[in-house]
Structure formats: C-alpha cells, structure tokens
Amino acid sequence: MRADIHPKYMDAEIRCACGNVIQTKSTRPSMLLGICNACHPFYTGTQKFVDTAGRVDKFQQRMVKTQAAQAAVADAAAKKKKK
C-alpha cells in the first residue's frame, strides 16, 4: 500500500443555524448546517402550519392585477389602431 495518501482525520465542529454545536471527527475541521436534529420539525415534534389561504389570496390578487394590466394594454393598442 502507498503511504500518506489518506486525508487527515481530526476533531471537527458542526454548527447549525439554530446555534447547536456538535463535536465529531471528520476530514474537515468545521462545517455549517442550515438545519439539524435539534431544530428540524420531524425530530422536535413541532410543526409550523403554513397559511395556505393567505398564499392563495396573494396569488389571486396578483392575477387580478395582471389581468387588469393586460386589459389596459389591449385597450391602448385598440385605441392606437382606431387613430
């Protein structure tokens, strides 16, 4: 076997966005995570309910504005043709 081809295995610190710190061993000295077992809803048992009705209402409001803008453009184009 060839000598000195394996990476160094050292103590590592894994830090989560929630502030949780985990000590382990790895080839990298530190890692940053966005979510861990201390803050993930599956492991904590708490779930955030998303306000889907609010999302639907916002979408419908955007659609009404878009349709109004399209109608205004169509009216302006029709007036231009008449002239």
Distance, in Å, from the CA atom of 73 to the CA atom of 69, rounded to the nearest integer, reads: 6
pLDDT higher than 80, residue 83? no
Residue 15 near residue 34, CB atoms below 8 Å: no
Tens of pLDDT along 10-69? 999 999 888 889 999 999 999 998 888 888 877 777 776 666 667 788 888 889 999 998
Q: What is the DSSP letter of 22?
A: E
Overall pTM > 0.85: no
- Answer whether CATH 3.30.450.30 is correct for domain 1-45: no
Distance, in Å, from the CA atom of 44 to the CA atom of 27, rounded to the nearest integer, reads: 29
Sorted by where each begins, the domain ranges of the chain are 1-45, 49-83
β-strands 30-33, 10-16 pairing: parallel
